[in-house]
Amino acid sequence: MSEKGFQGDDVLYIVLINELCKIRQPALALEMHRKMEKNNYEGTINTYTMVIDAFCKSEMVDEAVSLFSEMVSKGVSPDVIAYGSLIKGLSRSGRLRAAFTYFDEMVSRGLSADVVVYNSLIHGFAQVGMWKEAKKIFDVMVGKGISPDVATFTIFIDCLCKEEKIREAQQILDLMIQQGKKPEVFMYSILMNGLCSTGQLDEAKKLLGVIAEQGLQLDAISYSIIINGCCKSLKIDEAFQFFQKMQEEGIKPTIATYGALIEGLCKNGQIEKAIDLIHSLESTEYKPSLEIFTMLLDAMCKAERLEEARKIFIEISEKGLVPDAVTYNVMFSGLCKKGLSLEADELLTKMEEKGCLPDDISYNVILHGLLRVKEVDRAMTRLEQMRRKNFVPDDAVTSMLLRLAMEDGQYLATIQSLPGPDVIRKGVVSGNID
């Protein structure tokens, strides 16, 4: 340290810039880059690329573009890696036209795109469903003698599965194998997840045999996918068979594995088993998440085990978790279902006091409950709050409001004066409550 502040040599600056980029602190990395230049050490293509790449990975693409332009204006010629970082950032943020502009600029400079650059463009188009464009880029890449790598095939398979184009994803996997490339377990897992999400559990299980034939070992992710698929199909016993098998093979279940099983048990009404599994989870390195407790809370409310649900709701906060709008909505629904709409309304007030903002579902559940038990004045107060937040009454609440206006004229003016959907005001005027 000097009286003027930090002054290192160029190697030390580069190390610091690199470390800041690794921990996703691009703004600080750029600040260090500025200090380096101020102390008469010129930025290089490597230092600029580090920061540009860090900005892109932090989804600060505008900053990356600005720094790229600055780099060029200072006479530093970008290489394929620099262009590749910027093109990847633009593609992932959906700015495909800009990505192609830089791609064309790169080519005009006499630089040849590598598989990484092509993969970025392919992924950009594939993730928005522009398959023809993605295929064109793939064909151009192959035409230039650049072989697709595992990442290329993974991009296609992942994006196709997300769009439920499972047959096309399987064809891509087959093409990969035909080209002599061996799929890894995670690629089969992506395909299994796609099959399970489209209700093709039996086909997903067939892939387990294929994986074994390839000499590959299932991991926690692949087991969790199959277990989740079994639970979604309400094949709980089979899910637990896979759960036991993975542990016998020395594979530790993850929080996702437990979550899938607990959700399956809750949806299947097996609440006691779900509670037992949560206790088992608490004895592991993982702790039950808010989502898991919310699933249990929902199952208890639907089973009208309200006292137990209240205890679970209190326990959530005692365990250091903060209930969110979804958790509160489950509790509102359970209370209103039992005719305890006033208690639900009071809970809504407490929710706001604790800094958790109600959403449109919160208000609709409360409104429906209050109107159902004829607490009309409270309902009108909540309705006004709801509309000030620009939330819209759902069909059930709208129907109840129209019927209320027809039956009791004192609320007609209030409902008509509320800002919001014309359907309420027009329904009141026309007398149509269907």
* pTM, entire model: 0.77
pLDDT for residue 287 is more than 80: yes
Per-residue pLDDT, averaged over 363-387, amounts to 93
- The pLDDT confidence band at residue 3, using thresholds 50, 70 and 90, is very low
Question: What pLDDT does 129 receive?
Answer: 87
For residue 427, is pLDDT > 80?
A: no
Which residue reads 């006691």 in tokens? 272
Report yes or no on 29 lying in a domain: yes
The helix-helix angle for 61-73 and 80-92 (nearest 10°) equals 150
CATH code: domain of residue 12: 1.25.40.10
Q: Write the DSSP symbol of residue 252.
A: P
Residue 162 is assigned to a structural domain of this protein: no
Residue 144 CA: distances (Å) to CA of 81, 99, 141, 266 = 19, 20, 5, 54
What distance lies between CA 90 and its chain's CA centroid?
A: 20
pLDDT of residue 415: 66
Q: Please give the Cα distance from 261 to 231 (Å, whole number).
A: 7
Specify the pLDDT at position 432.
Answer: 47
Predicted pLDDT of residue 417: 59
Q: How far is CA 50 from CA 64, 84, 286, 316, in A?
A: 10, 12, 35, 43
Residue 54 lies in a domain: yes
- Structure tokens, 39: 């102390």
pLDDT over 60 (residue 288)? yes
Predicted confidence at residue 212, as pLDDT, reads 87
Query: What is 342-381 written as a DSSP string?
Result: HHHHHHHHHHHHTTPPP-HHHHHHHHHHHHHTT-HHHHHH
Range of the domain at 4: 1-77
Calculate the average pLDDT of the chain. 90
In the numeric block, the tokens 């050490």 are attached to: 41
88 in a structural domain:
no
Percentage helix, strand, coil for the chain under 3-state DSSP, each rounded to 5? 75, 0, 25
User: Where do we find the tokens 């007030």?
Assistant: 349
Contact between residue 50 and residue 42 where contact means Cβ atoms under 8 Å apart: no
Please state the domain count of the chain: 1
Are 81 and 49 in contact, with CB atoms under 8 Å apart? yes
For residue 11, being part of any structural domain is answered with yes
In a domain, 2, yes or no: yes
Indicate the pLDDT class of residue 11, thresholds 50, 70 and 90.
Answer: confident
Whole-number Å distance between alpha carbons of 357 and 409: 33
End-to-end CA distance of the chain: 78
In a domain, 56, yes or no: yes
